[in-house]
A and B are shown apart, each in its own frame.
Chain A
Amino acid sequence: MKRRLVLFSAQVYVLLKKEMLQFLRDKVLLFIVLFTFTANIVILGKAFTLEVKNVPTALYDMSKTHESRLLVEGFRASGRFRFVKEIDSLQEGDRLLSKGDISLIIAIPADFARNLRKGASAKVLLSTDGTDSNQALIALSYAASITGTFFTETLEERLSLLIPAMAKGLVPQIEEKIRVRYNANRIDERYLSLMEMCRAAFAICVILTAASIVREKEAGTAAQLYVTPISKTTLLIGKIVPVIAILMVALFIGTLFNIVFLDTPIRGSYPIFWALSIPFLLFSVAIGLLLADFSRTFQQVLLGAFLVLMPIMFISGSLVPIETMPKVLQQLTYFFPLRYYLNITTGVFFRGVGIGSFWADALIMTGLGLLAFSVSVWFFRKSLD
């Protein structure tokens, strides 16, 4: 028994050492991993702004009155709209719109002020480019709230003139107090980086595992290892532990870059995130092992990884919120730990919630990780059949 333990630890030691040395000496791989968890993360955090602002807008003011100018001022002050051009006809606006130079036309009819004064319907025409429906909707809702505010303000003013008793602020009104949780200044691109870190951990873990096995198959060293008396378990420990260790370090580096360059908050417990990364990585390793079982060349691994990873990453809620997807896809996500892992990640970083609110996620994720791992171990053969 003791001899077997000594043999086992000697074998594990030499295998771990070998894998680590090989990884550290593979400059290309090392570069790809480091790039993904450093520069890549920062680029994604800095390249975009998700806020809808500076909507290129053309103004067609036929009214040219004090009121119309006040309204336009309201639009301008919001900072959401950038007035590119004043136009003299709707045709011109349409042309600009179809060329894509502008996305919105604000047209104020000639009778705007008159109607407003006599209490008839004063119209404001908003023509928007609906191509990007998302942007269009946001722009329209901003416009609606700006005209609403404009209207109440003018009414208040008129009322206070007519009935001095109705001083300003006495109009019944709902005032919204909007509190954005978790991502205080909601226009936060940092989530892109954080999601990218999780996606990268998943993809790189799968590819590293599969590559380390398949490259040995290609080089013929696999056969050399398989004819030694080393057991399947020992062999797999030697393959898996280094990958998980590398990814744990990479995640740590990625987190550091998130914090230092993007000021990403950690409102929850980082150790919990780190610890829960292990079952997640275990699942990823298992996918990598299965991929390696069915591939003979590194090229097949890449193709397979592409086919398997893209959809999983896509539907697990790292690019679009899960609840906006069709029901079938939503249900599918329950089978992929990435879904739970993303929830845990945003929970720890943004929402600052404790294990209490995601213990179920952690449990299911661990279960799935262990299941996939057992399946992949069962599939793994120390032979070339």
Chain B
Amino acid sequence: MEGRDSLHREASQEPVLRAKGLKKAYGKTLAVDGVDLEVYPGEAFGLVGPDGAGKTTTIKMLVGLIKPDSGSVAIQGQDLHENLKAIKPVLGYMSQEFTLYPTLSVAENLRFFARAYRVPDAEERERTNDLLAFSRLGPFRSRYAGRLSGGMKKKLALSCALIHTPKVLFLDEPTTGVDPVSRQDFWLLLYELLAQGVAILVSTPYMDEAERCNRVALMHEGRLLTTDTPRALCNASTSKIFELRGERASEAFFRLHQAQTSERAELYGRKLSVRVEDGQQGLKEELERIAEEKRLEVTQVPLLLEDRFVEILEAKGHKKRPMPPGGLPFRQREKGKPCIEVEGLYKYFGDFAAVDGISFEVAQGEVFGFLGPNGAGKSTTISMLIGLLHASRGHMNVSGVDMLKTPEMVKGRIGYMSQIFSLYGDLTVMENIELYAGIYGVTGGMFQARKRWVLGMTGLERFERQMTRSLSMGYKQRLALGCALMHDPEIVFLDEPTAGVDPVSRREFFDLIAAMAEKGITVFVTTHYMDEAERCERIALMYSGKIITMGTPDTLKAAKEVPKIVEVHPEDPIAAYNALSKDGWEGGIHLFGERLHVSLDEAKGRDEQSLRRDLERFRIRTIEMNAAKPTMEDVFVAFILQYERAKNQGSSETFP
């Protein structure tokens, strides 16, 4: 374990948390099936997996909220369940839905937890001030917790969990639904804790977030598939990823699909990414042939953690299912003409502008991504586009229907899948299909064909009579999509369709989206997964009611607003982090396991040269240093910060 060794040079260091053979069953379902793990002081340990993998149950057993059926947990060498009372003050815990008391102010929430942990008054004052400064919540001391933004709530929750200076911190999906800037802030808070030697166990559904951890455990169906540093995990792979770039990437994708070799191919807009196992010479040659024919540029790209996860799942027999043969039973539509036109659209709730004058256009057959944190106005916008909400003012034309005049007209032409699973859980698979077919008036042969297609696409052929609520997330989402497509709509609106779904199912889902786009159906999709954004042909970033930027993923990444990122691999990352982030590089340093990501910012005089100079100045010995590609998250953060700066300048100009 290269990472840990470099982190904890004293070999004598004992794990602060040690779990052995944890098992927990709810009725007949085994939620957690034999989990062993160790976490060391100053380490960020990532528990990664989809919803239902058993992450939450595991964490609850680790903190003593649930008693395991078998197995043991030891904290600092003491058995947790026998010494629960004594150990409690050492633990910090932030549940997934950590709810602060919404009608208590920021300070009152902190005070309540301080009293709960019997923090002495003087220490409480000091600690509160520290935490408020640290989380930049100082100006909001007396604001009710219920009126904070999602990101601020999470930071306050973390502060509450830290009021008693715990030694081991458990975070259950702390950044889900949080805007990227707050997420970065949140991680900056965690780095400080790591630097103080706190052990952190964090669960997340996001693979890119997991790369920030020192070690990662991939969790699936109650088991840990593997545990190691992210880099070691990727290095253990027996495959390589090839990227085929060019205008005709999707043609290549469907070529592979026809050849029944599409299960390892992923379409990302104008890029096709194919995983080729080391022995698969045939596939490699075929790719080169196709690339030449479609005039695509082939490059090998680094394998990501998610690719590795999918590879391991595949080895366990959980393969991506190929799409049903015969394609979609829908008519082919002509692509290219505009099908959503929005101009100067506003939506007010009272005085609050949830959507604050946005304009955009989407073409028929396009996969259009709509990104933004919770509360940015994404869902409100979608609701207006599909006629669920009336716009306050503006112009909005969807599929040739003027949505401000005759919103009902659009309803036969669109499909919609909301962010929460929205089929009837107490109806069977077949009853749900029949219900939507009946509502849309799909009958006779057309109904038979589409029903067959939905069952084939979802893989539910033999489960027609199963209650929908008993299906796993992946099945549910595909069934919901099938029902939303029952009437062959021109546009499909997908509101966070893959939240909480396992990576294999997510990939299947995006294959379907590619197939829909191929038929000329417009796909309008919102997502929290930054890597998914790259699957869209174009994306719009929404923030506080406005679209702050729009374009193809590649153009956005290359935009001048996006800082260059340098990846540094120092010998002692914590020491390097401490030195740099305290002197000249505040807020620009991110820990990714044993590596640092340093954002350059010419305006602040942070260029590559000054970085090298400072590294030398602090006597930080580096093993490696090279330029890294910005992620979609970096892009998002850059544009939000720029927007905030512009807004603040604007206001200071008006009020000098």
A224 and B416 in contact (CB under 8 A), knowing A383-B390, A384-B388?
yes
Question: Are B389 and A383 in touch, CB under 8 angstroms?
Answer: yes
Neighbouring A residues of B411 by C-beta, 8 Å: 227-230
Question: Is A14 interfacial (CB 8 A cutoff)?
Answer: yes
Neighbouring B residues of A383 by C-beta, 8 Å: 387-390, 407
Question: Are A11 and B431 in touch, CB under 8 angstroms?
Answer: no
Question: Which size class do A's interface residues fall under?
Answer: 20 to 34
Minimum distance in angstroms from B271 CB to a CB of chain A:
32
Neighbouring B residues of A220 by C-beta, 8 Å: 418-422
Cα distance A42–B425 in the bound complex, in angstroms: 35
Question: Is A226 interfacial (CB 8 A cutoff)?
Answer: yes
A11 and B387 in contact (CB under 8 A), knowing A25-B426, A219-B422?
no
Question: Which size class do B's interface residues fall under?
Answer: 20 to 34
**Contact mask for chain A residues 344-385; partner B; CB cutoff 8 A; 1 contact, 0 none:** 000000000000000000000000000000000000001111
**Contact mask for chain A residues 1-13; partner B; CB cutoff 8 A; 1 contact, 0 none:** 0000011001101
Question: Are A230 and B420 in touch, CB under 8 angstroms?
Answer: no
Q: Does more than half of chain A's interface fall in helix, strand or loop, or is it mixed?
A: helix
Minimum distance in angstroms from B606 CB to a CB of chain A:
45
Question: Is A203 interfacial (CB 8 A cutoff)?
Answer: no
Question: Is B618 interfacial (CB 8 A cutoff)?
Answer: no
Question: Are B441 and A10 in touch, CB under 8 angstroms?
Answer: yes
Question: Is A15 interfacial (CB 8 A cutoff)?
Answer: yes
Of all chain A residues, the one with the shortest Cβ separation from B416 is A227
Question: Is A121 interfacial (CB 8 A cutoff)?
Answer: no
Minimum distance in angstroms from A383 CB to a CB of chain B:
5
Cα distance A230–B383 in the bound complex, in angstroms: 17
Question: Are A229 and B431 in touch, CB under 8 angstroms?
Answer: no
Question: Are B390 and A228 in touch, CB under 8 angstroms?
Answer: no
Question: Are A18 and B418 in touch, CB under 8 angstroms?
Answer: no
Question: Is B443 interfacial (CB 8 A cutoff)?
Answer: yes
Neighbouring B residues of A219 by C-beta, 8 Å: 420, 422, 425
Question: Are A227 and B414 in touch, CB under 8 angstroms?
Answer: yes
**Contact mask for chain B residues 234-249; partner A; CB cutoff 8 A; 1 contact, 0 none:** 0000000000000000
Neighbouring A residues of B387 by C-beta, 8 Å: 226-227, 383
A18 and B424 in contact (CB under 8 A), knowing A7-B441, A227-B414?
yes
Of all chain A residues, the one with the shortest Cβ separation from B428 is A21
Minimum distance in angstroms from B418 CB to a CB of chain A:
5
Which residues in chain B, 60-93, are within 8 Å of chain A measured between CB atoms?
none
Which residues in chain A, 221-278, are within 8 Å of chain B measured between CB atoms?
221, 223-230
Question: Are B423 and A221 in touch, CB under 8 angstroms?
Answer: yes
8 Å CB contact of B424 from A11, A13, A221, A382: A221
Question: Are B435 and A18 in touch, CB under 8 angstroms?
Answer: yes
Question: Is B438 interfacial (CB 8 A cutoff)?
Answer: yes
Neighbouring B residues of A26 by C-beta, 8 Å: 426
Neighbouring A residues of B434 by C-beta, 8 Å: 14
Minimum distance in angstroms from B398 CB to a CB of chain A:
11
Cα distance A14–B424 in the bound complex, in angstroms: 13
Cα distance A15–B441 in the bound complex, in angstroms: 12
Question: Are B388 and A14 in touch, CB under 8 angstroms?
Answer: no
Neighbouring A residues of B297 by C-beta, 8 Å: none
Question: Is A49 interfacial (CB 8 A cutoff)?
Answer: no
Neighbouring B residues of A14 by C-beta, 8 Å: 434-435, 437-439
- Supply 12 A–B pairs (Cβ within 8 Å), ascending by A: A14-B434, A14-B439, A219-B420, A221-B422, A223-B388, A223-B418, A224-B422, A227-B386, A227-B387, A229-B411, A382-B408, A383-B407
14 extra interchain contacts, Cβ-Cβ under 8 A, other than A22-B424, A384-B388? Answer: A11-B438, A14-B438, A14-B439, A15-B435, A17-B431, A17-B435, A25-B426, A220-B419, A220-B422, A221-B424, A223-B383, A226-B387, A384-B383, A384-B389
- B residues in contact (CB < 8 Å) with A: 383, 386-390, 407-408, 411-412, 414, 416-427, 431, 434-441, 443, 484
Top 10 A-B residue pairs of the complex, sorted by shortest distance between their CB atoms: A14-B438, A229-B412, A229-B411, A7-B441, A220-B422, A220-B420, A224-B422, A227-B416, A227-B386, A25-B426
- A residues in contact (CB < 8 Å) with B: 6-7, 10-11, 13-15, 17-18, 21-22, 25-26, 219-221, 223-230, 382-385
